[in-house]
DNA sequence: CCGAGGCATAATGAATCCTTATGGACACGC
DNA sequence: GCGTGTCCATAAGGATTCATTATGCCTCGG
């Protein structure tokens, strides 16, 4: 049996019209008429009652309709499963760059999981600042870039990738731990920040500006280049810092760092995916993006 | 999608052989090869691994196989339900006539089985000679007739119904039992025959004529009107007779009558179905004919 | 009563399926 | 190692099926 005949039949029953069914199916009306006629001949009974202009299924037609729908649903599921299989053939090398924020924890773990899922794929992640990543993508030295700040650049396109929540990290047992503090309280506390140009720093500067403050209004004792350095300093009790929650998930679980928040500030940022304008995507890149959206979405 | 391709695929997986699958499906081996090839092309992946002589499903093929089986099962259920629709509605009365030959055993048992299959149908069988049956069908007093000889009659049409094999029946322990006898041997033996006009008799006369003999050349001791009478006489040891094998199946099984054949004679006849010309068939009659062909075919 | 819309049919061309014939590859036995 | 038999794939050709356009007939609404 050809499931297209069943599809034609179902369309006729649903639309109560051969002509409308034909339109939906993308064929001409006589084609549908012949399909139904052929089906009726094969099954040995009338499936559709054509009384004047009315098109109604007969009793047999109603029974067939239910079964036909199940057949078509099963066929669709079958095709869908096979389409899903096709991805399993992924292989090749992916060159990706990230700024230090996303390049620190989230992305490496994601890429590791992706590689495990697709053993024939090889991934190379290089970490540098946002500007350099964007430039490398523009020059097509990297296929993908993951950065924490969108810049204007005509040779690349940015698209939202995932949302990164920024929290106030403090040493365990700290007075701030587990609660929301005021700006005045924050002002009296030693603060460690990332170096100039870091995305998280940008986010915090924007948030403070929104409440009429500047970063220099805080007791910024240390500026560190690497997120890992900042994390270690906080864990060691040298101060508090604003950091991506995702970067300290393990510490939060282990209790070696505590989390708090500041009244009136909700710092977060959209991590962006960068691609060269007009460049065709490889299947591996496509698969990675889909994988990431599934994992991070 | 054509479920025949799925059926071909499933057959290949199950038999692990294109050739065996082709045999099962009733097509040639290249046809199956092309079906599978076409399916693989459509679904975009290899479904069967042909390593040398081994035919194994791939991983994708195994997945498809499970779904395909469900599709085919659903199709069968769908067809079965529709077939059930057609049969379940049968009701009414069927008037049928038969000559004494087919009217003796074959047809009565067939009609009983048919009625059991369709409890709402009522069947009336009347037995008389061929000519009378034909006349009654022509006058539309009977819807169907089953006779052993076709006659010219412009108001009816004959069509082959089933083939009736005629054998030489003899008493158990008889010298003829279980072997092929010569015409000379037959000539020396008392023979019992059916009355003039009986179809079997006609068949035997034709066969003898073919070897340059006539019925009167045999030692015809008795002519009996009813087939049942002839059967009883042979079982009682009064002689041998030519009779439809189907009429003595039970006796052959019970050993109360034995079977033999005559060298050079292969008597058989085509039992014919008689219908009035141009008369529309009822669904019950149609169903009976289909049922009979299935049973007797 | 007439016009518009919809289904069925005829004729024709394209696509698909099946056949036979045959070639190549592989396994098995000698 | 070679020959034979079996099995799958391919080519070519014919048959069948599906889709098209054109058109006729029927029904319904205005």
Quickly count: other Cβ atoms within 10 Å of residue A287's Cβ: 18
pLDDT at B33: 92
Cα-to-chain-centroid distance, residue B92: 25
B2 contacts: CB under 8 Å, gap ≥ 6: A1, A2, A3
Q: Which nucleotide is nearest to B50 (CA to C1')?
A: D8
The protein residue nearest nucleotide C26, judged by CA to C1', is: B52
Cite the DSSP H helix spans in B102-170.
Answer: 106-117, 130-138
Using CB atoms, which residue from A45, A67, A77 is nearest to B78?
A67
Interface of B to A at Cβ within 8 Å reads 1-4, 43-45, 59-60, 63-64, 67-68, 70-71, 74-75, 77-79, 81-83, 85-86
User: Complex ipTM, two decimals?
Assistant: 0.43
Number of Cβ within 10 Å of residue B210's Cβ equals: 12
Q: Which residues of A touch B (CB under 8 A)?
A: 1-4, 43-45, 59-60, 63-64, 67-68, 70-71, 74-75, 77-79, 81-83, 85-86
Residue A91: its pLDDT value, please? Answer: 65
On the CB side of B231, CA atoms within 13 Å amount to 17
The CA distance from B196 to A97, in Å, is: 105
B273 CA → D25 C1’, Å: 39
pLDDT digits (tens, 9 = 90+) for B131-187: 778 887 877 677 888 887 776 677 778 888 877 788 899 988 888 888 889 888 888
Which nucleotide is the nearest neighbour of A31, by CA and C1'? D19
Whether the predicted model's global pTM rises above the 0.80 cut: no
Domains of chain B: 3-83 (1.10.10.10), 92-162+270-296 (3.40.190.10), 163-269 (3.40.190.10)
Helix, strand and coil content of chain B, in percent to the nearest 5, comes to 45, 25, 30
* Ramachandran angles phi, psi of A204, nearest 5°: -65, -40
In sequence order, what are the residues at sequence separation of 6 or more whose Cβ sits closer than 8 angstroms to the Cβ of residue A36? Answer: A5, A8, A9, A12, A18, A47, A48
C1’ D15 / CA B29, Å: 18
Core vs surface per residue A22-54: b (16+ CB within 10 A) or e: bebbeeeeeebbebbeebbeebebebbeeeeee
Euclidean distance between CA atoms A223 and A245, whole angstroms: 19
Per-residue pLDDT of chain A (297 residues; tens, 9 = 90+): 788 888 899 889 888 889 988 888 888 899 999 989 888 888 878 888 887 677 888 888 888 888 888 888 888 777 777 766 555 556 667 778 887 667 666 677 777 777 767 766 767 777 777 777 888 787 767 788 888 776 667 677 777 787 778 889 998 888 888 888 888 888 888 788 776 666 778 788 888 888 888 887 887 766 765 666 677 778 877 788 888 887 787 788 778 888 888 888 888 877 888 887 666 567 778 778 877 776 665
| pLDDT (average), residues B253-269 | 84
């Amino acid at each position: 049996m050809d499931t297209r005949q069943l599809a034609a039949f179902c369309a006729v029953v649903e639309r109560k019209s051969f002509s409308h069914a034909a339109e939906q199916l993308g064929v001409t009306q006589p084609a549908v008429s012949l399909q139904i006629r052929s089906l009726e001949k094969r099954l040995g009974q009338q499936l559709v009652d054509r009384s004047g202009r009315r098109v109604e299924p007969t009793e047999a037609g109603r029974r067939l309709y239910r079964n036909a729908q199940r057949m078509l649903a099963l066929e669709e599921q079958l095709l869908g499963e096979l389409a899903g299989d096709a991805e399993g053939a992924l292989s090749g090398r992916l060159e990706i760059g990230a700024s230090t924020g996303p390049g620190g924890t989230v992305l490496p773990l994601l890429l590791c999981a992706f590689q495990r899922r697709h053993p024939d794929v090889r991934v190379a992640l290089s970490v540098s600042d946002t500007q350099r990543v964007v430039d490398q993508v523009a020059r097509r030295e990297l296929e993908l870039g993951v950065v924490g700040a969108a810049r204007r650049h005509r040779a690349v396109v940015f698209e939202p990738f995932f949302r990164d929540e920024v929290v106030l990290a403090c040493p365990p047992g700290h007075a701030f731990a587990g609660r929301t503090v005021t700006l005045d309280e924050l002002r009296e506390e030693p603060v460690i920040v990332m170096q100039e140009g870091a995305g998280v720093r940008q986010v915090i500067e924007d948030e403070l500006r929104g409440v009429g403050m500047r970063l220099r209004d805080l007791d910024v004792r240390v500026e560190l280049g690497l997120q890992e350095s900042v994390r270690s300093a906080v864990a060691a009790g040298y101060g508090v810092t604003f950091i991506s929650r995702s970067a300290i998930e393990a510490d939060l679980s282990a209790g070696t760092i505590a989390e708090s928040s500041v009244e009136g500030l909700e710092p977060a940022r959209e991590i962006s995916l960068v691609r060269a304008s007009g460049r065709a995507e490889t299947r591996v890149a496509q698969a990675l993006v889909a994988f990431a959206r599934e994992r991070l979405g």
